[in-house]
Amino acid sequence: MNGNIIIYIAVMAITTYLIRMLPLVLIRNEITNKYIKSFLYYVPFVTLAVMVFPAILYETDSIYSAIIGFVFAIVFAFFGNNLITVSLIACASVFLAELIIV
Amino acid sequence: MKSNSLFIKGVKDGIPIFLGYLAVSFTFGISAVANGISTQSAVFMSALNFTSAGQFAAISVITKSLSYFELAITQFIINLRYCLMSSALSQKFESKMPKIHRFLISFGNTDEVFGVLSSFDGKLPPVYCYGVLLGGLPGWVIGTLLGAVLGNVLPHRLLSALGVALYGMFIAIIVPPARKNKFIAVIILIAMICSAVFSYMPILKSISSGFRIIILTVIISAFAAVIRPIEDKKEENGNER
């Protein structure tokens, strides 16, 4: 490592902050265009779906325990459990599955 | 709702973020120290960045002594997706809200915070956002510190199980609206199938995960907006939990 670590950290922090901050600060008015508005409405669903699958399959020690966690999370979310419950159930089901299969 | 209870609701919704972050940043702390980055620097980096993929990439850029410019470019590419998320989030705030809130909240607009905030029903009150940030983000810094100081002390099984915490949270965010609105369910399914295709197909799989997220989000959201534009306020209720 030759560079100054403080400068490295500052460079990445500023870059990342600008990406997050500029759209939020610059787009202050309510967008009235029906299509842009709808586009932004669908963004969270698509982004989160893309981030979850297939990445979740490789997040644990075994693809099978990951599948079990994935299915349990979907079922419990479907029946309206809150974020923390679904999250913990996913973890617990992976943990239990790995006790058996790994 | 009173601002106190909104804040507390925010902190509660931030707890799964806290737990998930603990597991991921723990690994980050271990990896940073193993690559010769000091504990203070690793903690400092986590407290100022809150970007998992970005920070792991930074470790390799820094240990290879690449230039500051190269680090900036790497971060820009990996984190460009936040630009989309912040644009979407911009519509969740009252346009008259004091600007300072936008400067502060955007600092903590991570994938996970974005997920929680966008699932809030109606316009976002800043006090709720601060609750989510203060409930969730410290997990990232504390986990980094623990990983850097303690190293491989947590049982491996526990880390493996906690690895799905954030995914479980994402699923809890997108499934209930999909249950109420069949079109959203179809869009989510299409998004997951396309994501799998981009992950496994030759050539397509060489696209980095940051760009995969951007490309698919833009194309599929645009497709959804053209096919089923939101007509009135009512349809936005698909967002409530």
pLDDT (tens digit per residue) in A69-79: 999 999 999 99
User: What whole-number percentage of chain A has pLDDT above 90?
Assistant: 82
Residue B165 and residue B185 in one domain = no
The stretch B157-185 carries a mean pLDDT of: 91
Amino acid at B155: P
Last residue of a domain, one of B172, B196, B223: B172
Domain count, chain B: 2
Top-confidence residue, B3 or B237: B3
Contact between chains at A49 and B174 (C-beta distance less than 8 A): yes
Residue B122 and residue B91 in one domain = yes
Range of the domain at B90: 3-172
Residue B150 and residue B128 in one domain = yes
CB pairs under 8 A between A and B: 310
Q: What is the pLDDT of residue A101?
A: 86
Q: Which of A49, A89, A95 sits opposite B157 (nearest CB)?
A: A95
Residue B156 and residue B38 in one domain = yes
- Confidence grade of residue B50 (pLDDT, cut at 50, 70, 90): very high
Residue B35 and residue B147 in one domain = yes
Q: In whole angstroms, give the CA distance from residue B231 to residue B233.
A: 7
Last residue of a domain, one of B117, B137, B172: B172
pLDDT value at B233 more than 60? no
Residue B142 and residue B199 in one domain = no
Residue B7 and residue B102 in one domain = yes
The stretch B108-136 carries a mean pLDDT of: 95
Residue B89 and residue B27 in one domain = yes
Residue B189 and residue B168 in one domain = no
Residue B168 and residue B185 in one domain = no
Q: What Cα–Cα distance (Å) separates residue A57 from each residue in B120, B163, B216? A: 28, 10, 19
Q: Which of B159, B211, B168, B171 is CA-nearest to residue B25?
A: B159
Last residue of a domain, one of B151, B172, B193: B172
Q: In whole angstroms, give the CA distance from residue A33 to residue B31.
A: 46
Give pLDDT tens digits for A59-98: 899 999 999 999 999 999 999 888 889 999 999 999 999 9
Q: Please list every residue in chain B whose beta carbon sits closer than 8 Å to the beta carbon of residue A56.
A: 164, 167
Residue B130 and residue B190 in one domain = no
- φ, ψ of residue B115 in degrees (nearest 5): -60, -50
Is B7:B130 a contact under the CB 8 Å cutoff?
yes
Contact between chains at B49 and A95 (C-beta distance less than 8 A): no
Q: What is the pLDDT of residue B13?
A: 92
Residue B22 and residue B77 in one domain = yes
Stated pTM of the model = 0.85
Q: What is the pLDDT of residue B240?
A: 42
Amino acid at B87: S
